[in-house]
Amino acid sequence: MQKGNIRVQTENIFPIIKKFLYSEHDIFLRELVSNAVDATQKLKTLSSIGEAKGELGELRIDISIDTDKKTLTIADKGLGMTAEEVDKYLNQVAFSGAEEFLEKYKGQNEASIIGHFGLGFYSSFMVSDKVAVVSKSFREGSTAVQWECDGSPEFSLTEVEKENRGTDIILHLNEECQEFLEADRIRTVLEKFCRFLPVPIFFEDKQINNPSPAWTKKPADLTEEEYKNFYKELYPFSEPPLFWIHLNVDYPFNLTGILYFPKIKQSYEIQKDKIQLYCNQVFVTDEVKDIVPEFLMLLHGVIDSPDIPLNVSRSYLQGDPNVRKINAHITKKVADKLEEIFKSDRKSFEEKWESLGLFVKYGMMTDDKFLEKANKFLVLENTAGGFQTLEEYKLATETLQKNKDGKQVILYTNNPVQQDAFIQQANTKGYVVVKLESIIDNGFLNQMEMKWENVQFVRVDSDIVDNLIDKQESIESVLAKEEEATLKSLFIVQHPELNVTVEVKGLSTEAPPVIATRPEFMRRMKDMASMQGGMGAFYSNMPDEVTLTVNGNHPVYKNILASTESDKKEKMVQNLADLALLSQGLLKGSSLTNFINRSVEMMN
């Protein structure tokens, strides 16, 4: 039996390992199972080149719990180690890395970079009072050895009997970590970190992993059904995806994976952090913010890259050139795939637009390279149910929808039901109105007005139809000046939550008697303020700016102006004003109650 001290000068190495090695204690299981997988894979490699003799047998990893002894064991049938190798790898290599780590990160709590120093095995001391390693090398004539350490720098190394090649790591769990004696807890951790490791992993006699997930295969070897089944494996309760992109790059960096476009029917269904990052099939994280472009965080799926270390800090990711290349590559692949579908099957592309539009618009707002490509396949859905690209829309509206500054005016609705009357009036003029009603459309149109040349967005209810496209064509009122003034004086609208401006104009007799509009600029300012919080909330709570355009040509005003009953006259005018506000969803609270009571009273 050999006893000795681990060659390390830093006396407080173990407390630091226990406290700061990883922020999540359950990660020790990932580290130990990953080491077991490495040992198994290395054995396969040596066997393939003739360096490991004899039959390999069933290569698997077994995890077991002994509640009486309070132990958790991770056993593999891989390379195994001789006494010299145990001494080298457990007593020297890892601890020289530990000292380097301590020197570099002294006084810091953030230890996520630790994976660079090969300290995975020592994560076992985060949960254990004592760790035993029993190992037998694949080399012929090897004797099995047992290494034991109780978390101090002292260890023992003895020869023992072990029938099979491989390594067993036995953790004597400490009092605070008895949760890892519960089968459900272990199963949850294994399913999180180890479900796609390339060696069969058994727990309670049941295999818990899929060693050959879809992303490790060649696209040509996978059927559509297999892609969909893998999606179901990742997200059991989700609807089938729209389509997917299989990533497979080996230069200038290594990257494999499958990214799925999920169905998103409602904006509130958007879920980020659904992409899982792996390193050689070992789960790393589902926070891939700096690896995947921000707008593609809405995608689902898996990316696997050995060029991204298992334990990385956020600052590392932001500065790493490989990560930047991977980010750019993923953007290009997604843009190419969308363009390909648009060109080859536009009908299918348009049918999927309800979900796709969110990705495309978000990408155009946040990534200029994507914007350049997406300008070709962005489609605008109009209120008649048709789809047009930006160029097609410009062509269709070239004559009617250019303003006095030569800008193409894109008329839009963000609520086709509420704004139906305005849409119909615009359609009568021959205008094309598009739907922009998703959660990101307000930001999208603001951005595109800056990024696209000579384009202006105008909401269809932001002015009377004759003024939607500013051509500086004056509209003459048919009313005499004194009649206009009398009519205007009747429209004294007192709603404290609204800031109302009244104007009298001569519109067509078919137009409504009063039209309520919210000026585009002020409404957009309020919409943006409401999303900002803080001072933004102050501005968003200010009264709504509303313009009431009174149509002096409407026949109803002949009766009103001719009436001698001033009380009745005022009530009729108030009701017409309130009907216009109601059509815009701006009549609320006591104002709405007063309108209802007044209407009933007038009917009586």
Domain membership flag for residue 514: yes
Cβ atoms 471, 403 nearer than 8 A: yes
> Distance between CA 225 and CA 58 in Å, rounded?
30
Checking if the pLDDT of 108 tops 50, the result is no
Q: Longest Cα pair distance anywhere in the chain, in angstroms?
A: 118
Of the pLDDT bands very low, low, confident and very high (cuts 50, 70, 90), residue 551 is: confident
179 and 134 in a common domain: yes
Cis before 252? omega within 30? yes
In 332-401, DSSP assigns E strands to 379-381, 387-389
Domain membership flag for residue 145: yes
Identify which of 70, 60, 89 has the alpha carbon closest to the alpha carbon of residue 176: 70
Which run of H or of E encompasses 17?
helix 13-20
For 406, other C-beta atoms within 10 Å of its C-beta total 7
Report the chain's mean pLDDT, rounded to a whole number: 83
Identify which of 495, 503, 439, 429 has the alpha carbon closest to the alpha carbon of residue 468: 429
Q: What is the DSSP letter of 478?
A: S
More confident residue, 155 or 227: 227
474 to 46, 280, 470, 481: CA distances (angstroms): 87, 70, 10, 16
Domain membership flag for residue 32: yes
Q: Look at residue 294 and give its three-state secondary structure.
A: helix
What is the phi-psi region of residue 243: left when phi exceeds 0, alpha when psi lies from -120 to 50, beta otherwise?
A: beta
Task: Output the domain CATH number for residue 258.
Answer: 3.30.230.80
| Amino acid making up residue 213 | P
Backbone φ and ψ of 165, nearest 5°: -65, 150
Which run of H or of E encompasses 435?
strand 433-435
Q: How many domains does the chain have?
A: 4
Question: What confidence score (pLDDT) does residue 150 get?
Answer: 86
Strand partners, 457: 410
Question: What confidence score (pLDDT) does residue 104 get?
Answer: 56
> Distance between CA 389 and CA 588 in Å, rounded?
38
More confident residue, 317 or 284: 284
Average pLDDT over residues 534-562: 76
Domain membership flag for residue 435: yes
- The residue from 295, 330, 350 where one domain ends is 350
> Distance between CA 363 and CA 341 in Å, rounded?
17
124 and 6 in a common domain: yes
Domain membership flag for residue 255: yes
More confident residue, 178 or 592: 178
Q: Supply the DSSP string of 567-599, one letter for each residue.
A: HHHHHHHHHHHHHHHHHTT---HHHHHHHHHHH
In 38-101, DSSP assigns E strands to 61-66, 71-76
Task: Output the domain CATH number for residue 424.
Answer: 3.40.50.11260
Checking if the pLDDT of 532 tops 70, the result is no
Checking if the pLDDT of 268 tops 80, the result is no
Strands 243-249 and 255-261: antiparallel
319 and 407 in a common domain: no
541 and 583 in a common domain: yes
Cβ atoms 543, 499 nearer than 8 A: yes
321 to 93, 289, 291, 552: CA distances (angstroms): 29, 15, 11, 67
259 and 122 in a common domain: no
To the question of pTM greater than 0.75 for the whole model, the response is no
State both tokens at 11: 């006396």
425 and 285 in a common domain: no
Identify which of 161, 8, 171 has the alpha carbon closest to the alpha carbon of residue 99: 8
State both tokens at 259: 């990214």
Domain membership flag for residue 358: no
State both tokens at 455: 């384009």
Checking if the pLDDT of 246 tops 90, the result is yes
For the stretch 43-78, pLDDT in tens is 998 888 888 888 888 999 999 999 999 999 999 999
> Distance between CA 425 and CA 430 in Å, rounded?
9
Task: Output the domain CATH number for residue 148.
Answer: 3.30.565.10
> Distance between CA 336 and CA 374 in Å, rounded?
9
235 and 172 in a common domain: no
- The residue from 188, 207, 226 where one domain ends is 207
415 and 500 in a common domain: no
Region of poorest pLDDT, from 53-67, 153-167, 315-329: 315-329
> Distance between CA 54 and CA 138 in Å, rounded?
10
| Amino acid making up residue 179 | E
309 and 219 in a common domain: yes
For 458, other C-beta atoms within 10 Å of its C-beta total 23
Strands 300-304 and 275-279: parallel
195 and 158 in a common domain: yes
Domain membership flag for residue 356: no
83 and 122 in a common domain: yes
Report the 3 state secondary structure along 208-250. CCCCCCHHHCCHHHCCHHHHHHHHHHHCCCCCCCCEEEEEEEC
Q: Supply the DSSP string of 480-518, one letter for each residue.
A: -HHHHHHHHHH-----TTEEEEEEEE---TTS-SEEEE-
Identify which of 371, 403, 362 has the alpha carbon closest to the alpha carbon of residue 520: 403
More confident residue, 273 or 127: 127
| Domain limits for position 133 | 2-207
Identify which of 380, 483, 496 has the alpha carbon closest to the alpha carbon of residue 435: 380
Checking if the pLDDT of 257 tops 80, the result is yes
194 and 96 in a common domain: yes
- The residue from 146, 178, 207 where one domain ends is 207
Cross-sheet strand order for the sheet of 255-261: 243-249, 255-261, 300-304, 275-279, 282-285
Question: What confidence score (pLDDT) does residue 544 get?
Answer: 79
Domain membership flag for residue 367: no
What is the phi-psi region of residue 54: left when phi exceeds 0, alpha when psi lies from -120 to 50, beta otherwise?
A: left
Task: Output the domain CATH number for residue 582.
Answer: 1.20.120.790
